[in-house]
Amino acid sequence: MNLPTSFPVTTRSKVRRLPKRGSAERADIYAILDAHFLCHIAYVIDGQPYVTPTGYWRHGDRIYWHGSSASRMLRAQASGLPVCLAVTLLDGLVLARSGFHHSINYRSVMAFGLARRIEDPVEKQEALDAYVERLYPGRNKELRRIEAQELKASTVLGMSIEEASAKVRRGPPVDDEPDYALPVWAGVVPVRQILGAPVADPRLSPGTPWPAHLARYAEGAELDEVMTEMAKGPG
Amino acid sequence: MNLPTSFPVTTRSKVRRLPKRGSAERADIYAILDAHFLCHIAYVIDGQPYVTPTGYWRHGDRIYWHGSSASRMLRAQASGLPVCLAVTLLDGLVLARSGFHHSINYRSVMAFGLARRIEDPVEKQEALDAYVERLYPGRNKELRRIEAQELKASTVLGMSIEEASAKVRRGPPVDDEPDYALPVWAGVVPVRQILGAPVADPRLSPGTPWPAHLARYAEGAELDEVMTEMAKGPG
């Protein structure tokens, strides 16, 4: 299937605030979606907005997420509710010479679609396996298989991206020209999400090694780089 | 003013999914809000949900955020729109012996309120100054003052927290009892937001030092700890 290289832009998805930071290019949007696994999903129940953080994974132009069947969010979305999904990577604090020009460096995506529940058990199981593989490639084959009641207790939601936009800010502050002469420290304090040393479960079965399939989760690695590498699939 | 130690809990704010992870205690909620500065705000326009990442700051039971007057989000919210604000700190990946029990360690808050625009210019300026002071205590006095047209171009939104809940997951995986015997590595991969070495603006006025007021922004510091310390105020 040949997908267009950019998503449609409507009044809903158009980047209005500082549009030069925006993009509807598929490659830009996928690069950000593939750099993380935690999103915020907004939805409406009886006119009231809600936003919930949740893990997600992408397959083509579809985004999936999951949770218990008991979850209010997933119950409400199962009927095909409009959702807005945001992924935001914080890259730094931007310090300018005036309060007004202080900013944040970030990479973000806002994606719109209709969330629907995956009803077919086979498709549901494949989706849950895909989530484990997305985060821990090669791990599924070491785990015990999912049991029938677990599959039943799980809800998987998916949406096709109808519209999406990426927004990115990088680099130093942009100050008013006369302000550059001020003796005020200006620049960027980078922020990174870093992996710590793995903490084994106190109840780990004795002699169980740190497995090869987790080699990318090395202490000090940057989460977005690990996620991006894994999204490329097996080398 | 003596505020109750917990926020009211209604059908809107009740933690339904894994309620043992939830809290409506004011201290729990403030501790999470004070550990970061980036939130996701959900709102509704014509039935469509939107979620936008934005910087925020807290003062008592009020949360503020800002942006350009041109922003769709802030225009829509200025009339007093219901919003849901989420702050989420990712603390780790939780690897279990079955796909079903994989999880995420996190601290999160969901807060509900009516967002209103701060119209009074003095109050608006004080709020913007408070944002700079929240992130960079002592910095305002080194900056040039905000100009009239900047104040006009800024929009500050604020809401009183009507209801809120915190939700936290910590610690090792919780597996089904028989699974503990499996020879599968299980445990936690911690994730931390760490500050990098400051990158001075290439146009920094020569001889401008890294200022004392930024001492907390030391390379390698954890963002949530820096934010928490600063939220305690001077001394």
Q: Do A185 and B208 touch (CB under 8 A)?
A: yes
Q: What is the DSSP letter of A211?
A: P
| Exposure string over B100-127, b if 16+ CB within 10 A, otherwise e | bbbbbbbbbbbbbbebbbbeeeeebbeb
Q: Is residue B81 part of a domain?
A: yes
Tokens of B233: 């105020």
pLDDT of residue B40: 97
Q: Give the model confidence (pLDDT) of A177-197 as tens digits.
A: 999 999 999 999 999 999 999
B positions 108-147 inside 8 Å of A (CB): 108, 110, 112, 128-129, 131-132, 135-136, 139-140, 142-144, 146-147
> Is B2 an interface residue toward A (CB < 8 Å)?
no
Predicted confidence at residue B103, as pLDDT, reads 96
Residue B6 lies inside a defined structural domain of this protein = no
| pLDDT score recorded for residue A166 | 97
Is residue A17 within 8 A of residue B26, CB to CB? The reply is: no
Question: Tell me, what's the pLDDT at A2?
Answer: 63
Model pTM score: 0.93
Domains: count for chain A = 1
Residue B109 contacts residue B166 (beta carbons within 8 Å): yes
CA distance A145 to A131: 14
pLDDT for res A50: 94
Range of the domain at B140: 19-231
Interface test with A, best of B36, B203, B210, B224 (most A CBs within 10 A): B203
Q: Tell me, yes or no, if B148 comes closer than 8 A to chain A by beta carbon.
A: no
Q: Do B129 and A99 touch (CB under 8 A)?
A: yes
A207 interfaces chain B, CB cutoff of 8 Å: yes
C-alpha torsion A29→B64→A172→A168, nearest 10: 10
* DSSP, res B145: P
Residue A76, pLDDT score: 63
Question: What is the C-alpha to C-alpha distance for residues A200 and A177, in angstroms, rounded to an integer?
Answer: 53
pLDDT band of residue A7 (cuts 50, 70, 90) is: confident
Q: What is the pLDDT of residues A206-230, one digit of tens each?
A: 999 999 999 999 999 999 999 999 9
Q: Among A9, A15, A17, A106, which would you mutate to test the B interface (most chain B Cβ atoms within 10 Å of its Cβ)?
A: A17
| A224: in domain | no
Q: Which residues of A touch B217 (CB under 8 A)?
A: 93, 189
- Does A27 reach chain B within 8 Å, measured CB to CB? no
- Whether residue B9 is contained in a domain is answered as no
Start-to-end CA distance of chain B, whole Å, equals 23
CATH of residue A110's domain is 2.30.110.10
Q: Is residue B14 part of a domain?
A: no
* Nearest Cβ partner for B40 among A47, A51, A193: A51
Tens digit of each residue's pLDDT (9 = 90 or more) over A66-125? 865 556 656 666 668 899 999 999 999 999 999 999 999 999 999 999 998 898 999 999
Residue B122 in any domain: the answer is yes
Inside any domain, residue A210:
no
CA distance B232 to B235: 8
* Beta strand residue intervals within chain A, DSSP E: 22-23, 38-45, 48-59, 62-68, 79-95, 103-117, 154-160, 163-169, 187-195, 199-200
Of the candidates B151, B23, B10, B169, the residue with the CA atom closest to the CA atom of residue B88: B169
Q: Give residue B204's pLDDT.
A: 97
The residues facing A54 across adjacent strands are A39
Name the minimum distance, in Å, from the CA of B33 to any CA of chain A: 15
- pLDDT for position A16: 67
Q: Is residue B8 part of a domain?
A: no
Q: Kindly give the confidence (pLDDT) of every residue in chain B, 235 residues in length, as a single tens digit, with 9 standing for 90 and above.
A: 567 888 888 877 777 667 778 888 999 999 999 999 999 999 998 889 999 999 999 999 999 998 655 566 666 666 688 999 999 999 999 999 999 999 999 999 999 999 988 989 999 999 999 999 999 999 999 999 999 999 988 889 999 999 999 999 999 999 999 999 999 999 999 999 999 999 999 999 999 999 999 999 999 999 999 999 999 987 5
**Cβ atoms of A121 and A69 closer than 8 Å:** no
Q: Whole-angstrom Cα distance, residue B110 to residue B64?
A: 15
